[in-house]
Structure 1
């Protein structure tokens, strides 16, 4: 299966990964900077041009990562877990393991990223001055990075979701009104306004100036901001409406089971085809031994289905993601999305299965809960 993200490693338990869209922005940066450096410094050799562009792009990548680590470090210190940092076409995103519960936490977590970018701008600016009379490509790289980090900081402080400034704005409204719902609405409206202004600016570049690439790029950013702002609003609404919904409320109490000693052929003939279910828990409710899916059976040649046991192809219980009866609906949805799960068992502390949650049923149930509570 094609992977949308590439995991680079972990920093203090935080998974660092790159979305495939980052490759596009990296190639775009390399092309644009190589072209720009070639025309700005015609005396440079081709290796100098390409090498300077490559180093600049790499350090820009590191700068965005540092920006997101700024958010993450402050979040962890304030008790908000951070699961991953993903770099993608429009920048980076730190995936928190939960939402902030206080306005002060929201403010300091949000402001940390731009603060890191401002700090980097000052550091790179100082290095540009120090290296000015030494080796020109180095001072050029430092100067460019000082400028772009300052731009990143200023742009992110615009007061609208999903930008850091939108979260700062939300924190301030939350602090002064005491109403987190009102704060979210204000930040979402700010995000919409920013997106609409960027759409207008993009059209102006496209139609008046004739800047095709620039205009389209600005409108893509505007579309992304608008989509994210609306998504933030819907996510908060979902959290608010599902705060009392737990796994025990969503679980199907009678998931299909199959014996680990059954053959694949027996399972297909007696379980899958009559019932139309693609996945089964292996074992029995008192002792779940694993999970088997149709995809697992496809790894075995059909002529071997009669002699191959379910236990030989199942995912063992100790490798299965599972939730407890009291797990919140939001956490279940996040877990299933992050690990691309179609089913997840609901287990008591003793290990007894009280049911499982199917992704499609979960989404339908959440939709119904939200419709009923409107």
Structure 2
């Protein structure tokens, strides 16, 4: 499974950077590793093997299984990089792995290929393991047991990921197909996400219904079906939210959202600067040097935090943030280009300038965020 997730805080262990892609293992992996180790110890127990040996083989299976998951995610990420898409990291965690690809493929064909290569690799590993199980390893020893369990597990991983609902790879393949037909990636996301939600419901309802009709008690493994269903439902819901956000991105226009700005010197008292701004119906203040060149933007949050009785004694410059080159944006930026520029240099305010360098106004991040409230 691959993902275009927003930037987030992350805790885990870095394991290396094959192909220039950072690999992390989340602490949650140790939970599933322990579960597999205890669940499979009797599966791998050979005659005469003590508990320690059985645990060791089961743990080796857990590690090899997640190496297979890592190869699955690497397939996604390496192909994405080949298409020029930046890959932030791969994370191995409780329910498998995720490739954090920062941009969507530009065409439905590339979207389909990036999504399909992961399950294809898992099924390929299953095929190799199946052949090895038949013709290479034999005798009922530890290698044969590991190979058999691994090829079966990779087959399950490959088939499961081909289910046609987001956030699974099959969902991204379905999204690519709908995108191709409708020429609308947003529509593809909506269709694949709702199919993902339907899959989640089926994964819970069908096993419970079959158990009820047969009169059998619920098996403990049903818990995993519920956990996976919750994971799929949440992923599909997140995809729907992302689709709504992307639908609003074309409305982001720097000129439309810009606040009129007035120039003030650093020594100007805040109260006087605010008076001038109100007089000229301006919503922002730019600190300029004695030659009139912009050097900083007065921070709105800092102004609001300054008590009114102190404003005559506080200078505008003391509440301003120095202008970095990345905080100066072209006034004609719109849509994805504007969002990308703001993402590259997070700030509260940006100075908007014309192509000739003239000041157009100030763009406040809060004004941009307001467009996405309620999504």
Quote the residue 1:12 is aligned against. 19
The residue aligned with 2:370 is: 364
Higher-Rg structure is 2
Residues 277-333 of structure 1 show CA distances to partners (whole Å, capped at 9, x for unaligned) of xxxx999884469x9x99xxxxxxxxxxxxxxx9xxx99969x99977666666887
Structure 1 stretches lacking a partner, 5+ long: 260-280, 295-309
For 2:97 and 2:340, how far apart are their aligned partners in 1?
19
> Structure 2: how far apart are the matches of 1:103 and 1:191?
19
Matches of 1:283 and 1:220, distance apart in 2: 57
Residue by residue, what CA displacement relative to the aligned partner does 1:335-354 show, whole Å, maximum 9, x if unpaired?
98999x68475687999997
Q: Which residue of 1 aligns with 2:308?
A: none
Segments of 5+ residues of structure 2 without an aligned counterpart are: 1-7, 267-285, 303-317
Query: What's the TM-score, normalizing by structure 1?
Result: 0.68
Question: Aligned pair 1:234/2:238, yes or no?
Answer: no
Q: Distance in 2 between matches of 1:78 and 1:145?
A: 31
The Cα of 1:7 is off from its aligned counterpart by 5.3
Are the aligned partners of 1:76 and 1:82 in contact in 2 as well (CA < 8 Å)? yes
CA deviations over 1:211-251 (Å, ceiling 9, x no partner): 24x22332121122112112212212221221241566667
Q: Secondary structure at the match of 1:44?
A: coil
Aligned-residue RMSD, C-alpha: 4.7
Aligned pairs (5 A) from 1:60-71: 60-71=65-76
- The CA deviation at 1:56 is 1.7
Provide the aligned length of Structure 1 versus Structure 2.
331
Q: Map residues 286-301 of structure 1 onto 2, 5 A cutoff.
A: 286-287=294-295
Q: 1:107 aligns to what?
A: 112
Match of 2:172 among 163, 167, 170: 167
Quote the Cα distance in structure 1 between the aligned partners of 2:103 and 2:368: 20
1:31 has 2:35 as partner: yes
8 Å CA contact 1:287, 1:352 repeated in 2: no
Structure 2 residue matching 1:211: 3-state secondary structure: coil
Query: Does 2:97 correspond to 1:92?
Result: yes
Distance 1:4 1:75, change over 3 A: closer
Name 1:146's counterpart in structure 2. 151
Kindly indicate whether the alpha-carbon contact (under 8 Å) linking 1:84 and 1:94 is maintained by their aligned counterparts in 2: yes
Query: Corresponding residue for 1:209?
Result: 217
Distance 1:35 1:198, change over 3 A: closer
Q: Distance in 2 between matches of 1:206 and 1:321?
A: 60
**2:306 maps to what in 1?**
none
TM-score, length-normalised on structure 2?
Answer: 0.68
Query: How far apart are 1:73 and its partner, in Å?
Result: 1.9
- Aligned partner of 2:274 in structure 1 is none
Per the TM alignment, residue 156 of structure 1 is displaced from its structure 2 partner at its CA by 0.6
Aligned-pair CA distance for 1:183: 2.6
How far off its partner does 1:65 sit?
1.6
Distance 1:283 1:57 in 2: 62
Question: Does the CA-based 8 Å contact 2:33-2:63 persist in structure 1?
Answer: no
Once the two structures are TM-superposed, the CA of residue 364 in structure 1 deviates from its matched residue by 2.8
- Mean alpha-carbon deviation: is it higher for 202-211 or for 156-165? 202-211
Q: Is the 8 A contact 1:38 1:44 kept in 2?
A: no
How far apart are the structure 2 equivalents of 1:338 and 1:135? Answer: 56
Q: 1:328 to 1:4 in 2, by over 3 A?
A: farther
Deviation at 1:149, TM superposition (A): 0.9
Candidates 172, 192, 201, aligned match of 1:196: 201
CA distance in 1, matches of 2:116, 2:323: 43
Deviation of residue 116 (structure 1)?
A: 1.0
* Separation in structure 2 between the aligned mates of residue 333 and residue 157 of structure 1, nearest angstrom: 32
Q: CA deviation at 1:84?
A: 2.2
